[in-house]
């Protein structure tokens, strides 16, 4: 098995700003990607950069996502256009004693590379994996994609060959001269939670599926 480079170990992915926040453990890369639901995907079309949000899933040492065959941006990605894929998880606000040192707690991953197009059974499996990541337990309850829907969908995979991870945590990093300033300082955590399910009244009434109760953030 080929050993993939550690996160941040290539010239393009080395963390230069606040390098002490860089994490070179590949397991940390997987953990950030597994915790996220939405990524932002960059692509340049005719000299104009665009950033597109996508739902995704991690499948081993690659991430998978889908888009419309009608999208020129996704067609460019399917043709091998270089991209930058990022996931950011916001964990808290850091209230320092100065504006300069106030910041955020975050976990971020960046992946560079080119996508490959998945087709046939591999694309079908990828769509199920994406559903299982975003909506655990849902796939077996719902209608699978039709042939027409599959024909309108591009399923792409991006290898995690070149990536970086950056994590910010800990208390405010105040200047020693500010420590006696008469102002509260600390961290305000941010937590993402699922709310109470709201039923769609347009069809037949059914109980909320049990698997939704197990969803947690």
Contact between 107 and 91 under an 8 Å Cβ cutoff? The reply is yes
Among the CATH numbers 2.60.40.10, 3.40.430.10, 2.30.110.10, 1.10.760.10, which is that of 19-187?
2.30.110.10
Pairing, β 48-58 against β 62-68: antiparallel
**What pLDDT is stored for residue 18 in this prediction?**
76
CA distances, 70 to each of 3, 130, 148, 183, 214 (Å):
37, 20, 13, 54, 36
Contact between 193 and 217 under an 8 Å Cβ cutoff? The reply is yes
User: Quick check: 197 pLDDT over 80?
Assistant: yes
| Ranges of each domain in the chain | 19-187
pLDDT band at 2 (very low <50, low <70, confident <90, very high): low
Task: Please give the structure tokens belonging to residue 30.
Answer: 């997987």
**What pLDDT is stored for residue 1 in this prediction?**
53
User: Quick check: 28 pLDDT over 60?
Assistant: yes
User: Quick check: 127 pLDDT over 70?
Assistant: yes
Three-point CA angle 18, 41, 51, nearest 5° = 95
Question: What is the pTM (predicted TM-score) of this model?
Answer: 0.91
What average pLDDT does this structure show over 89-95?
A: 98
pLDDT band at 43 (very low <50, low <70, confident <90, very high): very high
- Tell me how far the alpha carbon of residue 94 is from its chain's centroid: 22
Mean pLDDT across the chain: 94
């Amino acid at each position: 098995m080929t050993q993939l480079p550690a996160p941040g170990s290539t010239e393009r992915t080395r963390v230069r700003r606040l390098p002490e926040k860089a994490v070179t453990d590949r397991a940390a890369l997987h953990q950030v990607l597994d915790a996220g639901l939405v990524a932002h995907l960059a692509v340049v079309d005719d000299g104009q950069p665009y950033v597109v949000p996508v739902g995704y899933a991690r499948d081993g040492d690659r991430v998978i996502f889908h888009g419309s065959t009608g999208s020129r941006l996704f067609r460019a990605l399917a043709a091998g256009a270089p991209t930058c894929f990022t996931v950011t998880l916001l964990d808290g606000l850091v209230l320092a004693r100065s504006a300069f040192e106030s910041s955020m707690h975050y976990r971020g991953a960046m992946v560079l590379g080119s996508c490959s197009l998945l087709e046939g059974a591999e694309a079908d499996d990828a769509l199920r994996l994406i559903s299982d990541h975003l909506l655990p337990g849902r796939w077996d309850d719902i209608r699978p994609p039709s042939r027409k829907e599959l024909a309108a969908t591009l399923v792409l995979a991006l290898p995690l060959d070149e990536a970086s991870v950056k994590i910010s945590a800990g208390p405010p990093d105040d200047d020693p001269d500010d420590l006696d300033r008469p102002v509260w300082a600390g961290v305000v955590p941010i937590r993402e939670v699922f709310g109470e399910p709201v039923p769609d009244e347009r069809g037949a009434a059914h109980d909320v599926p049990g698997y939704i109760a197990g969803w947690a953030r």
